[in-house]
Structure 1
Amino acid sequence: MSYLTAALSTAEINALSDPTKSYEDAFRDLEQITNTNFDESPFENGVRYRNTLDILEEQAKTAPDRNMLAVMLNCEYRLWKLDEETSIKYKPFLTHWVQALRRLEEDLTNFKQGTTHNPTSASDSLTAEGVTRARLTWIKGLLIGKDMTEIRSSSPWRTFSLTVPAFERPFDVQPYIQMLVETGVWDKPREPAVPSAPGEKQKPTLNLKMQSRKTVAKADTSSAPQQWQKTMRQKLKEQPDTAVQELKNLPLELSSLDFLTTLLTDRTLEAHSVETAPVIIAYIQHALRLVEKMEAPPSTSDQDSHANGAANGAESRAPVVEYGKEAQSRAVKLMLLFLKSLIRKGLLGTQVLYFEIQEICVRYVWIKEVRDFKSWVEEGKDAAQNGQT
C-alpha cells in the first residue's frame, strides 16, 4: 500500500477507540505502537490519520458507535497536534478540515431533511447524525483557536457531550477558504456567469496554479479530483502524448502524487506503452523548479519580462503564490513523501532517481526531513549491498 493511501493499523485504531480515555492518555498508548515506524515523518503520520478519517466517515454513515467516534475525534486532535505551533493559515491539513466541514454540513442537511438514512447504534443509541454533529463542532473548535490545554485532559465522549448542544452557532468557513486561496492551495473561485441564488456560495476549484497555463487549458480541473483522474485515464487511452505532457506538469500536491503513484502501481502507463521512469523523473524535475522559484519573489523587471514573453506568444509559466523557507520546506516534504513511496513499493529504484535525490539532498540539506531521508536512502543501500555479499 502506498504511504499516500495508508491508514492506521488495527492496533493503532484500538489504542484510540476508548471514548472515556483522555486525548493525551490515548496518544501515550498510541506512541508505544507508532514508534515502531521509526522512519516515518510527522507528515506521513498525518496522512495516515487523514486517510483513516476518510474511511471511518463512510463507515459512520451506516454503523456509528462510540468507539468509532472516539477514533475520529482523536485523529482530528492528532492532526492539529502535529503542527501545534504553526498558524492555522499554514497548517498542512487545513484543506482537510475545510473540505470536511463542507461535506459534513451537506450530510447534516440530508439527515435533517430525511433524504439520507440516519442509522442508530444498537449499543449506545448514537446516531450517524450525532457523529456528524460532534465532528463538525470539534473541527470548528480547532479552526477558531479554541484553548486546547483543557481539552487535552478531556475525553472524546466528554467533548461530544459538551460540544453538541452548541452546534447550532453560526460558523463562517469563508475566511479559511480565503486562506487556502491566498496560500495557493486552492484557486480563486470563478465569477458565476449568472447571479447565484441567495445564500448560494461558489465552490473554489482545487489548485492547479503550479501547472503551465497550457496544461490548465487542457485539463478540466474544476471538477472533483476523482472526475479529473477519470478524464486523465481516458486521455491516456485516446491521446497518450497529450496526457503524458500533462502528467509531467501536475501541481505539487497530495492528490497529484497519489494519482501518479496509482498509475505506476496498477501499471496503467505500461498498458498504454508509456515508459514510467521518464514521466516520473520529468515530473520531479518540474516540481524541483517550482520549489526553486519559491526561494524569493521575482523582481519587477523579471515580472515585466515574463509578461512580455507571454504576450509575444511564449509559453507562460505557472505562478508561484508562496515564497520563503517555510513554503519551500512544505513543498520539499511532499516530494520526500512521494519519493519514499516510490522506493518502498519498488516502483522506481534509487539508482533511477539518483540525480533527483542528490539535488534534493544537497540543495535542501537545511531541512531536517531531507537529512533524515538521505540517511534512510543510504541505510537502504547498505542493507542491499550486505545482502549481496
Structure 2
Amino acid sequence: MNTAATLTRAETHALSDADRTCEDANRQLGSARAHAPRDHNAADTGIFEESLRLKNTLDACEAQAKFKPSWEALALLVNCEYRLYVLNQTTPLRNNPFLSHWVEAVQRLGTPTAQRDAKTDGSILSDEISTVRVELIKALLQSRNPSQFARASPRQLHSNYVEMRQTSLFNIRSYVRMLEEEGIYERTPEPESDSPKSTASDTKLNEFQRWKLGMLSRLETEPEHAVAELTHLPLELSSLDFLTTLLQEHTLQGLNIEPAPVIADYIQHALRMMEQMGRGPGETGAAEPEVMLETGREAQTRAVKLLLLFMRSLIRKALLPLESIYFEIQEICIRYVWIREVRAFRAFVEEGHEEERDEG
C-alpha cells in the first residue's frame, strides 16, 4: 500500500464541481472509477486505503487553496471530508483513525473571519474555503449524521456558513480528551489552583457544575452513554432542573437526540425508585442499582411530590407533547392515588386546571 497516494486526476475531477451535491459527487466518483483502467481503479481497495488517499488529497488541496483559492478547491475539500466521514462513520468516534485529522484541521484552520461583503466578482477567498471546511467538520462531529449534507452542494454550504454566517459553537476540548484517553495525544496536565480552600457547599456546587459541563460534552461525543446516564439521574431537584434546562434550550434537539424518549425513560426510572422507597424492611424487589438514602412512606411521598412538580412543569411550559409521557402520567396517578397532590395533578391534566378543592 502506498501511504502517500492521492486521488487520481479523474477522481479529483469528479469531486470538484461546486454546484453538484455531495451525493451526486460520490456517484460521479463511482462512475469515474468504473471507467478507469484496471491498474488505476480504486474501487476494490479497502476503506482504510481509500480514506488515506482522501486525507492525502485534502492535505495537498489545502496547501494549494491557500495561494490559489477556487470554487473547485472548495468542492474538492468539502467532498473529500464528506466521503472520509461517510467511509468511517460506523467506527466509534474515539476509535476512529481520522479523528485526529479532523481535530487538527479545526485547530489549524481556526475560525477564519471570512467576509463576503466586498466581493462582487464571484470569486472565493482562502479564508472562506477554510470557514466552510471547519464548519462542515464541526457539524459532522457533533451531529454524526452525514445525510444532512448529502443533498447540499459546496456552493450552498458556502452560502450558509459564509454569506449567512450560520456558524456553531464547538467544544474541541472534548475531542482532544478522547485522543488523550486513547493514547493518541499526551494528556494535558490539569492546572494547579492557587485559590483558597472552598467550603463544603462550594465544593459540592463546583462538582455539580463540572459534572454538567462534562455531561454536555459527553452528549456531543458519546451520546448513547450520556443519554443512559441522563435517564438514571437521582430524583433530586438539581437533576430535574438540569433536565428542564436541556429541554428549554433545545440542547438535545440540537444534537439530534429525541428528547421525549429520554424524559419518559427518566420518569420510568424515578417511578421504579419510588416503588423501592415504599418497600418495608425485609421486602425485596427488582432493585435499581442506585443506593436509596431514604425509605418508607414519608420519603416516598416526598419523592412523588417532587416528580409531580417536574411533570407539571413539562406540561405547563409545553416542553414535551403530553402524549409522549401519557403512560407515565397514568402510572403515577393510579399507583399513588392516595396522595392528595396526585389527585390534584390528575385533575390538572384531565381538565387543564388546578384542583382547588382541599381533598382529604
Q: Using structure 1 for the length normalisation, give the TM-score.
A: 0.44
Taking CA–CA contacts closer than 8 Å with sequence separation of 6 or more, which of the two structures ends up with the larger relative contact order? 1
Larger Rg: 2
Taking structure 2 as the reference length, the TM-score comes to: 0.47
